């Protein structure tokens, strides 16, 4: 299943990057404030950062521009090619690796200050395993911040604006990005993510559901693909954010 998702992102990368023109920024996704507004990560300069599912590298490059030492991993070579070019255009060094997020073995225990991920973890069939690995690679006191699809968002029929399945339904489902096509994502409830983090030994500090009735001039997904439509966003938040830390002791 994972390799289907990898193939899809490889094939779709160019169309995705062309359509979105995602700004270089530490973003959290559609209809969400960015890091400058949310301030979840504190001072970034000098920090060792790992981005899981870095895509076109816009966040990794933004971390590097703020003085972090950054590694961005993604399994789609198309996305990484875009990311490497973006880093060069911005005059920063970022270590971009083709790597499945499910395998963090290249990273030593307690070697990172921040693990960050934007809109990638919904593609994982085994999030608990990844959360345990994130705990291993973070230094004590280190931060794990990630965003992903709000679970309610994919349950809405975009034309009728009604719920189409139970909130309680979890497991694999079709991820429909309109004109870009479909791939597979793995459904969850907010409580599943929270409890998976706790079970992995991380302390959840914030759960953020940005008010999607607000508009952000830097949001490249607004109105895109017949998915992030204003009338949908007025009703259902597309983005869910967690901040967790590895206990210091
Ligand atoms: C929606 S894009 C987000 C990209 C980037 N984080 C951003 O916010 O623009 C999802 C990314 O996750 C990557 N991805 C999905 N599952 C992955 C996995 N198991 N390992 C590595 N990368 C993965 C895809 O290749 C894609 O680049």
Task: Give the tokens for residue 116.
Answer: 């960050």
CA of 22 to the centre of ligand 1 (A): 14
pTM (2 d.p.): 0.97
- Please give the DSSP secondary-structure letter assigned to residue 74: E
* Tens-digit pLDDT string for the chain (249 aa): 457 899 889 989 999 999 889 999 999 999 999 999 999 999 999 999 999 999 999 999 999 999 999 999 999 999 999 999 999 999 999 999 999 999 999 999 999 999 999 999 999 999 999 999 999 999 999 999 999 999 999 899 988 999 999 999 999 998 887 778 889 999 999 999 999 999 999 999 999 999 999 999 999 999 988 889 999 999 999 999 999 999 997
CA angle 238, 219, 184 (to 5 degrees): 40
CA of 227 to the centre of ligand 1 (A): 18
| CB 70 within 8 Å of CB 115 | no
Q: What domains are there in the chain, each with its CATH number?
A: 2-245 (3.40.50.150)
Tokens 């997020």: give the residue. Answer: 101
User: Coil, strand, or helix at residue 157?
Assistant: strand
CA of 55 to the centre of ligand 1 (A): 5
Task: Give the tokens for residue 186.
Answer: 């793995």
Within 8 A by CB and 6+ apart from 27, the residues are 34, 35, 58, 59, 118, 218
Task: Give the tokens for residue 94.
Answer: 């970022």
Give backbone dihedrals phi and psi of 57, rounded to 5 degrees, phi first. 85, 10
């Amino acid at each position: 299943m994972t390799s289907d998702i990898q193939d899809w992102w490889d094939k779709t990368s160019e169309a995705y990057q062309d359509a979105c023109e995602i700004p270089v920024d530490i973003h959290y996704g559609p209809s969400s404030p960015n890091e400058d507004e949310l301030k979840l990560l504190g001072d970034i300069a000098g920090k060792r950062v790992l981005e899981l599912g870095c895509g076109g590298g816009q966040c990794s490059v933004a971390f590097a521009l703020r003085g972090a030492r950054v590694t961005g991993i993604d399994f789609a070579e198309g996305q990484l090619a875009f990311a490497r070019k973006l880093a060069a255009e911005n005059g920063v060094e970022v270590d971009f690796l083709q790597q499945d997020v499910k395998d963090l073995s290249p990273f030593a225990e307690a070697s990172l200050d921040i693990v960050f991920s934007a809109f990638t973890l919904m593609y994982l069939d085994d999030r608990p395993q990844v959360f345990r690995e994130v705990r291993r690679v973070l230094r004590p006191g280190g931060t794990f911040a990630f965003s992903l699809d709000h679970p309610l968002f994919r349950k809405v029929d975009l034309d009728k604006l009604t719920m189409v399945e139970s909130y309680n339904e979890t497991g694999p489902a079709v991820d429909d990005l309109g004109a870009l096509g479909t791939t597979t994502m793995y459904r969850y409830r907010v409580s599943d993510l929270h409890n998976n983090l706790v079970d992995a030994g991380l302390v959840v500090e914030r759960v953020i559901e940005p008010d999607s009735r607000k508009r952000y001039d830097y949001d490249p997904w607004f109105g895109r693909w017949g998915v992030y439509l204003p009338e949908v966003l007025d009703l259902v938040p597309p983005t869910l954010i967690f901040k967790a830390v590895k206990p210091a002791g």
